[in-house]
Structure 1
Amino acid sequence: MSKTKPSFIKRIEQNYTELPPNARKIADHLLHNASDVVSHTVTELANITHTSKATVSRFFRQLGYDSHVDVKHEMNELRSAGYPISMQTNEVSGFKAELNRLKQTFAYIDNQQLTALVESIIKSKRITLIGFRNSYPVALHFRQQLQQIHGQIRLLPQPGQTISEDLEDITADELVIVIGFRRRPKLFATLLEQLDAQQIVLFADPSGQIYKDKVGSLFICQLGQEQALDSYAAPMSLVSVICNKVLTELAQSGHKRVNRISERFRVLNEIE
């Protein structure tokens, strides 16, 4: 999609005053229901807006598109980039899609790669987890799970803080796990370049494959694009699998740490 062209919604706004009355009916509907341009046919859009197929087809041409198909392609590209547009409204299909995302994520994870990560976590004296924006909650959960069974786990950036000072303290033998799902901050690529690629493990959606040469290991998680908001079921499940494998490998030492922490919970009366 050319960066010089305005988005579908912007085109409607820019051309609205020049549109004839029936075309404005279509514009009014799509301004409030942009996803309908993907999920509905020209005939369906005509029925919804009480216009005609010819009027709908002409509407898209008036916006500068060759056809309805071009608009669908543009909207699909936006959703792939992480823009929150609902591409599907069927709840049953959405549930099936959620299961498919889990299956696809784990189907493409190499067992040797997973084993290597588990071993690296166990051997590392300190592990740094980095996550921004929508990736931060996954990084936070990863830290919480690992900290129950492994010491020296830290999370960056700290709330309200810059990250440069903490990057300075990363040592050569440290494992750095970066969570970087789509709509990453602009500093993301530069941040990876500040570290030794071989010590970085990156968790990303398929768009993160552009960073493959900047990291030592890459795990791709499917976030989906059927619904307006991304699903993090797959990365959360992967975190669970990894942490449980680490606990299994740590065996007695891991369970001793779990028991000590549980005893502190009891003494401090922190949890039910």
Structure 2
Amino acid sequence: MTQRQDPHSLEARIHEHYDALPPAEKRLGDLLLSFPGDIATYSAGELAQAAGTSRAAASRFFQRLGYRDFNEARQQAREAKRWGSPVYLSSASPSGGQPGSTQASQPIADHLAQERDNLTLTLESIRPDRLRDAVDALAHARRVHVAGFRNSHMLASYLQRQLQIVRPDVALLPRAGQTLAEDLVDIAEGDVLVMVGMRRRVALVSRILEIARRQGARTLLLTDPSAAEPTQNATWAFVCEVRSQSLFDSYSAAMSVMNLLCSSLFHHELHQGQERLKRIETLHDDLEELDALSWLTQRNSGTTTS
């Protein structure tokens, strides 16, 4: 089945007019159909050069598609990139090159620089007092609920497992095979809901935050800079940069924030956290669940072989 397109998107407009395009404009159309995100990065002149056409032809091309000018089309593409559309995040050129060029890139260095920027911008944006308040709420909550959808579900699952090491009564939503209502009904005053909502969020993110707030819970939202409406329903919102050198979002900054939350929570309730960890490790040992523990037991009893 062919995926339906927004009738006002760049690709849909090109397809609608494609057969009637003059050859010079059709070359530009072909370039943008392959990598529509390039329009957000490069000038009209650079795109025209890459397509082997003139700036005048490029100007006529965008007006033929119904845009006032090139800048209107570029703004639309930038919004699509900001929202995280993989079609618009991909590019015909390596980092730093011209559209359609084969200029060599430095993938490791470029990736490292972007990751460093993401971590710096994310962690420097978190106010220490807001972090303390959120950690205190997580420590004293009756119950903690962690939710996420699509890629954010993977992050939420990781966070729930780490929080569960430090404190009891941490649930992941939605549970497998369940609809949301059965889980949301138990959220109440004294609880904390942690919502992981990275870009390309589902509409349920805002609705769940609102329901949790209405039922008396405090809410912590881990999101990215594209968020607007969801942050209005959150008690605390920590914004994580997700930009990368490719069409795949980077979640290293989000993982770092989750690590910060969990380690801060552990030190906030140090005695309780240590006692819980000891009990967990004792159960690991009793069940012989982990190879490393089995190896350690054998070594201590003198039964290991080299």
Q: In the alignment, is the contact (CA less than 8 A) between 2:144 and 2:171 conserved in 1?
A: yes
1:187 aligns with 2:204: yes
State the match for 1:207 in structure 2. 226
TM-score by length of 2: 0.80
Q: Secondary structure in 2 aligned to 1:56? A: helix
Structure number with greater CO (CA < 8 Å, separation at least 6) is 1
Deviation at 1:163, TM superposition (A): 0.7
Q: In the alignment, is the contact (CA less than 8 A) between 2:206 and 2:229 conserved in 1?
A: no
Q: In the alignment, is the contact (CA less than 8 A) between 2:143 and 2:191 conserved in 1?
A: yes
Q: In the alignment, is the contact (CA less than 8 A) between 2:110 and 2:245 conserved in 1?
A: no
Which deviates more, 183-192 or 233-242?
183-192
State the match for 2:89 in structure 1. 86
State the match for 1:220 in structure 2. 239
1:162 aligns with 2:179: yes
Which deviates more, 123-132 or 94-103?
94-103
| Separation in 1, partners of 2:83, 2:138 | 31
Which deviates more, 81-90 or 134-143?
81-90
| Separation in 2, partners of 1:147, 1:258 | 10
TM-score by length of 1: 0.89
| Separation in 2, partners of 1:129, 1:98 | 26
Q: Secondary structure in 1 aligned to 2:226? A: helix
State the match for 1:75 in structure 2. 77
C-alpha deviations, 1:218-261, integer Å up to 9, x for none? 22222237642322111110000111111122223212222222
- Report the residue type matching 1:205 in the other structure: D
| Separation in 2, partners of 1:76, 1:160 | 37
Deviation at 1:71, TM superposition (A): 1.8
| Separation in 2, partners of 1:187, 1:242 | 24
Q: Secondary structure in 1 aligned to 2:221? A: strand
Return the match for 2:277 from 249, 252, 258. 258
- Report the residue type matching 1:79 in the other structure: K
Which deviates more, 26-35 or 84-93?
84-93
Give the fraction of aligned pairs with identical amino acids, expressed as a percent.
Answer: 30
Which deviates more, 19-28 or 80-89?
80-89
| Separation in 1, partners of 2:252, 2:194 | 18
Q: Go from structure 1 to structure 2 and tell me whether the alpha carbon gap of 1:225 and 1:9 turns closer, same or farther (over 3 Å shift).
A: farther
C-alpha deviations, 1:21-73, integer Å up to 9, x for none? 22212211211122222233333323332223322232222212233222221
Q: Which has the larger radius of gyration?
A: 2
Q: Go from structure 1 to structure 2 and tell me whether the alpha carbon gap of 1:41 and 1:212 turns closer, same or farther (over 3 Å shift).
A: closer
Q: Secondary structure in 2 aligned to 1:70? A: helix
| Separation in 1, partners of 2:58, 2:244 | 26
Q: CA RMSD for the aligned pairs?
A: 2.2
Deviation at 1:142, TM superposition (A): 0.7
1:106 aligns with 2:123: yes
- Report the residue type matching 1:54 in the other structure: A
Residue ranges of structure 2 left out of the alignment (5+ in a row): 1-5, 96-106, 292-306
Q: Report 1:1-80 matches (<5 A).
A: 6-80=8-82
Q: In the alignment, is the contact (CA less than 8 A) between 1:38 and 1:87 conserved in 2?
A: no
Deviation at 1:214, TM superposition (A): 2.0
- Report the residue type matching 1:173 in the other structure: G
Which deviates more, 83-92 or 154-163?
83-92
- Report the residue type matching 1:263 in the other structure: T
Q: Secondary structure in 2 aligned to 1:200? A: strand
1:242 aligns with 2:261: yes
C-alpha deviations, 1:111-157, integer Å up to 9, x for none? 11111111111112321111112211111111111111111111000
Report how many residues are paired.
269
